[in-house]
Amino acid sequence: MTRPKILVVGAGFAGVECLRRLERRLSPAEAELVLVSPSDYQLYLPLLPHVAAGVLTPQSVAVSLRRRLRRTRICPGGAIGIDPEAKVCVVRKVTGEVVAEPYDQLVLAAGSTTRTFDIPGLRDHGRGMKSLAEAAYLRDHVIAQLDIAAATTDEAERAARLQFVVVGGGYAGTETAAYLQRLTSAAVGRYPRLDRAQIRWHLVDVAPRLLPELGEKLGEKAMATLRYRGIEFSLGTSVASVDATTVKLTDGRTLPSHTLIWTAGVSASPLVATLGAETVRGRLAATPQLTVPGFDGLFAAGDAAAVPDLAKGGDAVCPPTAQHAQRQGKALAENILARLRGAPLKPYVHKDLGLVVDLGGVDAVSKPLGLELHGLPAQAVARGYHLLALPTLTARTRVVTNWTLNALAGDDFVRTDFQSRRPGTLQDFESATSYLTPDQVREHSRPLAART
Ligand SMILES: Cc1cc2nc3c(=O)[nH]c(=O)nc-3n(C[C@H](O)[C@H](O)[C@H](O)COP(=O)(O)OP(=O)(O)OC[C@H]3O[C@@H](n4cnc5c(N)ncnc54)[C@H](O)[C@@H]3O)c2cc1C
């Protein structure tokens, strides 16, 4: 008898946790495990702001898939379409070749991409914070602004180079602004021609409050801390347009700046749209059992899926966080096992453990299990949480070593220049994959599957 093939798309929190559980619970004779992934690492996204600021090396947050997964076959490439009727996933391999991967059970765990709106110039000039390369580009870009500001004799150019705008007052934007502000504030001491007072950081959000996930008190605490460090806030405001040298805000102000960092939300992976299935605000509508209604053999988890939040009840769906993605991955693996063994599937239930927001140094706010903390206790919880959540002992050791080295010796503020030939904008990163429409998927999948 042939073994059923379980195909997982996406090597993030949900996909890798699911495969690790399946590797442990299924013998090789029981199922074939395949992972489709464009990268050979699992990225620990919550520490990306530390990478952008040079506190951590990029390798510290990229965990080797070949270390984590022992018997899963890795298909290196990106899924560009799924044909749920033929049970075929169409993959563009890293070689450029397009292949069909038939499956018995498919786990869609392709995460999310940066959500952009129809704002003139945003995709061409905005910079994202969602991948390792984007974090590394951002670091080089910010240091380059200091270099150019120190070199120019044009006062207006210097002011524009030293003005930075971050959009998004959630944890990703707040941590990014906080960490990069620390970077520029520490670096400026090494530039005799620059003065700390010339550097301006703005945090912009359309919502009236910072960090709404943490409640009013902690949001205000975080704002007070960052304001004291010189970050300016524009809440209830968004970006009207952006070009290479200016950011126009919806309140009518124009900020001369060469840096717009966009972290205002995420959209589910465009792979979801290739299915032609029901979605909830772009995320694939999933059942509490992490299946996709009406699609045999299809499961979904993480940022790509709208999974009902049974702990909250009502119409609530689980927020797009690593905390949920990781746990959904494990629950999903158990449900695949149940499906293979003819047992009933179990619903996913998880009560949010809270959120930690690391603002750099001893500054932090966190709300573990409803307890509101700020300052050093919050930072201890934040760092402890990340150390526990990092997937391997090697990654934890790298992170602790980097944190310690940075605290003791600081940063050298060098830019690598590896990235200087690419624009590094949202458009530059997101145009990398072109997905198929549901009709195109069918055109590709059937002949490819017949040949496979
Ligand atoms: C800066 C930042 C800070 C954050 N901080 C926190 C935090 O403190 N706490 C928290 O809980 N959450 C945090 N998050 C959110 C958290 O990282 C995400 O919710 C989580 O990564 C989602 O997990 P996932 O498995 O769904 O997707 P991901 O972890 O994003 O993984 C998706 C994977 O799918 C791959 N992929 C994408 N498209 C395809 C394709 N077509 N074919 C094959 N593979 C594909 C990607 O390469 C990636 O490896 C943060 C996010 C960011 C950006």
**Tell me: the pLDDT tens digits for 337-379?**
999 999 999 999 999 888 999 999 999 999 998 999 999 999 9
Q: What separation in Å is there between the alpha carbon of 157 and the centre of ligand 1? A: 36
Using CA positions, which residue lies closest to atom 50 of ligand 1? 46
CA–centroid distance, residue 322 to ligand 1 (Å)? 7
What's the 408 CA to ligand 1 centre distance in angstroms?
A: 31
Alpha carbon of 131 to ligand 1 centroid (Å): 9
Does an H or E element contain 80, and which? strand 73-83
Contact call for residues 12 and 109 (beta carbons, < 8 A): yes
Q: Which residue's C-alpha comes closest to atom 38 of ligand 1?
A: 110
SS3 state of residue 326? helix
What's the confidence (pLDDT) of residue 273? 92
Q: In what order do the strands lie in the sheet with 279-280?
A: 279-280, 283-285, 305-306
Between the CA of 199 and the centroid of ligand 1 the distance, in Å, is 31
Distance 303 CA to ligand 1 centre (A): 7
Q: Tell me the CA–centroid distance for residue 427 and ligand 1, in Å.
A: 19
Q: Rounded to whole angstroms, how far apart are CA atoms 438 and 277?
A: 10
Q: Look at ligand 1, atom 44, and give the residue with the nearest C-alpha.
A: 10
For the packed helices 216-228 and 171-187, what is the interaxial angle rounded to 10 degrees? Answer: 20
Q: Cα separation of 103 and 298, whole Å?
A: 10
CA–CA gap between residue 144 and residue 13 (Å, rounded): 33
Q: Which atom of ligand 1 is nearest to the CA of 130?
A: 53
- Say what the pLDDT of residue 222 is: 97
Containing 65, the helix (H) or strand (E) segment is: helix 65-68
In whole angstroms, give the CA distance from residue 238 to residue 264: 10
Q: Give the distance (Å) from ligand 1 centre to CA of residue 291.
A: 20
pLDDT digits (tens, 9 = 90+) for 121-175: 999 999 999 999 999 999 999 999 999 999 999 999 999 999 999 999 999 999 9
Q: Considering only CA atoms, give the Rg of the chain.
A: 23
Pocket test for ligand 1, best of 21, 45, 175 (most atoms within 8 A of CB): 45
Sheet of strand 200-205: strand arrangement: 126-127, 259-262, 163-167, 200-205, 231-235
d(CA 137, CA 298) in angstroms, rounded, equals 36
Instruction: Please tell me the residue having the least CA distance from ligand 1 atom 7.
Output: 46
Work out the average pLDDT over 99-125: 95
What is the whole-number distance in angstroms between the Cα of residue 29 and the centre of ligand 1?
31
Cβ(316)–Cβ(309) below 8 Å = yes
Among 330, 299, 297, smallest CA distance to 102 is for 297
Distance CA 423, CA 258 (A): 12
Nearest protein Cα to ligand 1, atom 30? 111
Domains of the chain, earliest start first: 5-114+267-352 (3.50.50.100), 122-264+414-429 (3.50.50.100), 353-410 (no CATH)
| 323 CA: nearest ligand 1 atom | 11
Ligand 1, atom 15, residue with closest C-alpha: 321
> Mind giving me the DSSP string for 168-206?
--SHHHHHHHHHHHHHHHHHGGG-TT--GGG-EEEEEES
CA distance 106 to 129: 28
Ligand 1 centre distance from Cα of residue 1 (Å): 37
What CA–CA distances, in Å, run from 156 to 43, 126, 196, 253, 256? 39, 21, 16, 17, 8
Residue nearest to atom 1 of ligand 1 (CA): 172
Please name the amino acid found at residue 72. Answer: T
Rounded-to-integer distance, Cα 369 and Cα 363, Å? 20
Q: Higher model confidence: residue 83 or residue 429?
A: 83
Distances in Å between the Cα of 186 and the Cα atoms of 133, 173, 191, 376 are 23, 20, 10, 20
Q: Best of 99, 113, 321, 430 to mutate for ligand 1, by most ligand atoms within 8 A of CB?
A: 321
E strand or H helix that includes residue 260: strand 259-262
Residue 228 makes CB contacts below 8 A (sequence gap 6+) with: none
The pLDDT assigned to 1 comes to 65
Write out pLDDT tens, residues 411-438: 989 888 776 677 888 888 875 578 988 8
CA distance 240 to 121: 9
DSSP string, 132-156: HHHHHHHHHHHHHHHHHHHH---HH
- pLDDT single digits (tens) 186-235: 999 999 989 999 999 999 999 999 999 899 999 999 999 999 999 999 99
Single-letter amino acid code for the residue at 244: A
The overall average pLDDT reported for the chain is 94
Ligand 1 cavity residues, CB under 6 Å: 9-15, 36-39, 45-46, 48-49, 78-79, 109-111, 129-130, 171-172, 269, 271, 302-304, 320-323, 325
In the predicted structure, residue 322 carries a pLDDT above the cut 80: yes
